[in-house]
Amino acid sequence: MSGPSVSVPRVRRAVVALGSNLGDRDTLLREAVRAVDETPGITVVAASAPVSSTAVTLDGLDPSKPTYLNAVLLADVTLDDDALLDALQAIEASHGRTRDVRWGDRTLDLDVVALDDERIDTERLQVPHPRAAERAFVLEPWLQLDPEARLAGAGRVADLASRLTERTRPVPGATSLLDPEPDAPSDHGSAHDPTPDPSPGAP
């Protein structure tokens, strides 16, 4: 006689974009990856090295703003959509994120870019992220993790990235955000890059 059936949670692969242009950006991104991985129902399986980019505001590129560090993580998720968003927004808030200005400076930004190949359009969540195909600071870190990645409804991430005129800038000495934090000071530990960067940086 068989026992009671056990419900197995559905696992989805999430692509999450991270960004920071205030404070100790590299540390903030690494702490965020750890916090995401420690969240029940989320297991981080890979995280890119950070890249550098110029802030994007509602008026376009703004090199006068602090430079962004951006990255992407891949995670296996058993949470439903609202629970996933609640968890990510709680991590943002715990790292000082405020929402006073749309597309304003932020200590931490966590955006769901994709959930498997699902297409979701609710008041709280749009997946795929509506601007992902236009953002090198999302596509290029994603390609670090999965050169064959595809964005639902848009095609191969490598093809999308190749069509963009913008480019991110590698950060000297940067390593995967899953690696221990580097001891030596470098560009990715500073809130500002020493040279202008023409590549946009806020999702």
- Which sequence positions are flagged as catalytic? 97, 106, 109, 111
DSSP the chain: ------PPPPPEEEEEEEEE-SSSHHHHHHHHHHHHHTSTTEEEEEEPPPEEEB-EETTEE-TTSPPEEEEEEEEEE-S-HHHHHHHHHHHHHHTT---SSTT---S-EEEEEEETT--EE-SS-EES-TTGGG-HHHHHHHHHH-TT-EETTTEEHHHHHHT-S---EEPTT---TTSPPPSS--GGGSSS-SS---SB---
**Cα 110 to Cα 64, 163, 165, 172, distances in angstroms:** 23, 25, 24, 23
